[in-house]
Chains A and B, each alone.
Chain A
Amino acid sequence: MAITSTVSPDGNQVTIYIQGRFDFSSHQEFRSAYEKLSHAPTHYRVDLQGTSYLDSSALGMLLLLRDYAGGEQSNIQIVNCAPDVKKILLISNFEQLFDIQ
């Protein structure tokens, strides 16, 4: 459940990494990862390389991030999904809302 994040040197891109299970218990951490930044980034990346499972509350959290980042105008990439995790995202039609790599 460890959530970590890195910000690019120019402050324009934040990458959030989620290890293990992505569910409601990481909600506060996930929110802090993008809300506590001094400078609002223009690009967001959610790296799911280390994510083994996710549930619908994680989907809700991704939508919270999307609205925070500007909704329709947001620029969010979800990268490094394992096939199973990608399947859940696709079943939920998230490819229409996010750039899923």
Chain B
Amino acid sequence: MNDVRRLKILVADDTDTDRLILESIVRKEGHTVVSACNGLQAIEVYNAERPDIVLLDALMPELDGFGAARKIKELAGDELVPIIFLTSLSDTESLVQCLDAGGDDFLSKPYNRIILQAKIKSFNRMRELHSTMLTQRDQIVQYNNRLLQEQMVAKHVFDNVAHSGCLNANNVRYFLSSLAVFNGDVLVAAMRPSGSMMVLLGDFTGHGLPAAIGAMPLASTFYGMVPKGFSMTDILREINGKLKNILPVGIFCCAVMMDINFRKRKIKIWNGGLPDCFVHRHSDSSITPVKSTHLPLGVLSNRAFKDDCEYIELEKNDRIFVWSDGIHEARNAAGEMFGEARLKQVFANNRNQNRLFDEIIEGVQQFVGGGEKDDDLSLLEIRMDEPERVNAYAKEASDRFGNADIEWSMRFEVKPTSFKVFDPLPMLLNVLMEVPSLRGFSSTLYTILAELYTNALEHGVLKLDSGLKQTPDGFSEYYRLREERINLVGSGYVRINILHKTNENGGLLKVRIEDSGDGFDFANRSHDNLSAFGYSGRGIALVEKLCGGVKYSGRGNIAEVDFSWLKDD
């Protein structure tokens, strides 16, 4: 980059006087000179000295300047060695010949010192620019190689996370292709404890690294929750919330999620933004589309997120096909898209249902031909089959189904010394939230437990009178008294019994709360009225609404409720 840097300059001229004049001009500029008297010698000197710039007489014995220029350019390879022809010729043809032979410029005799100096400077700048470019090109190649290598390692990790499930089951076929090393599509499948299979095919906006980043939390959430028996809607909500939190606006995941119950031959399906899935019937080869009715994952906050699903009954060997828009949008050389009509045609032409999957892939690949692939292309086929033919896990779960009823109970007693320091509600709720099918009812269960426990404690143990709560000041007085008495309480108890039972369709939670108090005349109790305007008296009415009734026994100091629920899958 430095103008005064000493260059090594080759001067080749067969006329001694001309060569001497030139050498002295160049030396005066501070450069080093190497000389040659003919073309062959110029090549030899070039090879030995590797000069930065070559000044070449056009007409020389042995080998003329044109031949020498060609050879020197060849020897220089990638490197830029500016060649300036020195010539007394002035006809257009000769000058053009100089440039054609690989010369970069020419200088007419007699030499103009100023012009020669300027040309040397100018070509040196060009030479340095070229050398910078070469270095940068090499760096880019090196970076790219390193990036590809890093992506290979990352892909290995990603594949271990994303594809660790049960995609190898006998009833599953899938195809995933990607543009980059990373795939913008993600496919995960895992077995639930019940023996049904959950599958999710997702297509992140974009492809490559940004898309794959979202696939990691999606896959780890999926594989974390499915084997624990969480419902599909819980898992969808969890994934949606995670993606919404971590992905930048504009990156989201179109997805189809399915819960396939082989025992009941039923699937539950949620489609958010992927093209219509096709249900293909074995009996008559008809197809029924399952449309997207939701926004993709990662767009809405969990509060606005909709998790309603479609339920479809399937016969054995009925199939469901799920795809990313890569299939529909695959383009041929003429820029046309494959489209749904061609896809339906593949189904219409099919003669052997076992070949359908291959025919779709072949159809798209033949259509695309040499055309550019625009998007990741993914296809998934799930076939309904007997549990024992799906995989070992489904078989085992199906065998064990005969005794799927789970029953447990817990008893818990709060004693006088703990009333003031311990609130049992969060702990009880935590226990209940360990039951996956109860998680959707956390607020309802809290309200039920809170009302029953509060009544037992405040009226039974602390003997507080709700009548106090008729005025705002009475309301405060009530809670002041509660505080006072709870600090003094020296006897009494509240016993909580919870019994949990499940069956094939849902379950039952029986809650029984007994206190040490005097109870009340429950046979003649006035029913609490939810439309009343008082500040109190709403609690039991609320529980009655939520549980369908409250049963009292003993002297009115035992309250029992049944909370039953239906599984949503």
| Complexed CA–CA distance, A82 and B440 (Å) | 12
Known: A68-B472, A82-B303, A93-B530. A60 touches B443 (CB 8 A): no
Asked if A67 is at the interface of the complex by the 8 Å CB criterion, the answer is yes
Residues of B within 8 A of A (CB): 303, 442-444, 446-447, 450-451, 454, 469, 472, 475-476, 479, 482, 530-531, 533-536, 538-539, 541-542, 545-546
Question: Which stretch in A10-18, A39-47, A50-58 binds the other chain?
Answer: A50-58
A: number of interface residues (CB 8 Å): 28
The contact of B535 among A21, A55, A64, A92, by CB within 8 Å, is A64
Which residues of A have CB within 8 Å of B454?
Answer: 24, 55-57
- Contact across chains for A82 and B443 when beta carbons are under 8 A apart: yes
Q: Are A53 and B450 in contact (CB under 8 A)?
A: yes
Interchain CA distance A67-B469 in the complex, whole Å:
14
CA distance A50 to B303 in the complex (A): 12
Given contacts A56-B538, A63-B535, A93-B530, contact A88 B472 (CB under 8 A): no
Which residues of chain A are within 8 angstroms of B482 by Cβ–Cβ distance? 24
Q: Given contacts A23-B450, A52-B446, A61-B535, could you give 9 more A-B pairs where the C-beta distance is less than 8 Å?
A: A24-B479, A28-B476, A53-B442, A53-B443, A56-B538, A56-B542, A59-B538, A82-B443, A84-B444
- Tell me the bound Cα distance from A56 to B482 in angstroms: 16
CA distance A64 to B479 in the complex (A): 14
Binding site for B on A (CB under 8 A): 21, 23-24, 27-28, 31, 52-57, 59-61, 63-64, 67-68, 82, 84-85, 87-88, 91-93, 96
A55 and B539: CB pair below 8 A? yes
For the complex, what is the distance from the CA of A41 to the CA of B446, rounded to whole Å?
Answer: 33
In the complex, the answer to whether A84 meets B443 with C-beta atoms within 8 Å is: yes
Judging by beta carbons under 8 Å apart, are A92 and B538 in contact? yes
List the B side residues contacting A87 at CB < 8 Å: 443-444
Our pick among A61, A63, A68, A88 for the contact of B443 (Cβ within 8 Å) is: A88
How far, in angstroms, from A23 to B446 measured CA to CA in the complex? 11
Which chain A residues border B538 with CB–CB below 8 Å?
Answer: 56, 59-60, 92
Specify which chain A residues have a CB less than 8 angstroms from the CB of B546 in the assembled complex.
91
Contact indicator A88/B530 (Cβ below 8 Å): no
User: Which of chain A's residues has its CB closest to B539's CB?
Assistant: A56
Residues of B within 8 A of A31 (CB): 476
CB distance from A11 to the nearest CB of B (A): 23
Q: Which 4 A-B pairs have the closest CB atoms?
A: A84-B443, A56-B539, A60-B535, A55-B450
Q: Which B residues are in CB contact (< 8 Å) with A64?
A: 472, 475, 535
Closest chain A residue, CB of each to CB of B449 = A55
| A61 contacts across to B, CB distance below 8 A | 475, 535
CA distance A44 to B3 in the complex (A): 78
A53 (CB) vs chain B CBs: closest residue = B446
* B416 smallest CB distance to A (angstroms): 20
Chain B nearest CB, measured from A52 CB (Å): 7
Task: Say yes or no: B530 contacts A55, CB within 8 Å.
Answer: no
| CB of A14 to closest CB in B, whole Å | 17
CA distance A68 to B303 in the complex (A): 31
CB distance from B433 to the nearest CB of A (A): 12
Q: B450–A60 contact, CB under 8 A?
A: no
Chain B contacts for A52, CB-based, 8 A: 442-443, 446
* Cα-based distance from A31 to B545 in the complex (angstroms): 28
Chain B residues with Cβ below 8 Å from A92 are 530, 538, 541-542
For the complex, give the distance between the alpha carbons of A93 and B530 in Å.
Answer: 7
The residue of chain A having its C-beta at the shortest distance from the C-beta of B537 within the complex is A56
Q: Is the CB of B472 within 8 A of A93?
A: no
B541 CB contacts on chain A under 8 angstroms: 92
Bound-state CA distance A63–B537 (Å) is: 12
Q: In the complex the two chains form, what is the Cα distance from A96 to B207 in whole Å?
A: 52
Instruction: Report the minimum CB–CB distance from A33 to chain B (whole Å).
Output: 14
Q: Is the Cβ of A93 less than 8 Å from the Cβ of B469?
A: no
**In the complex, which residues of chain B have a beta carbon less than 8 angstroms from the beta carbon of A56?**
451, 454, 536, 538-539, 542
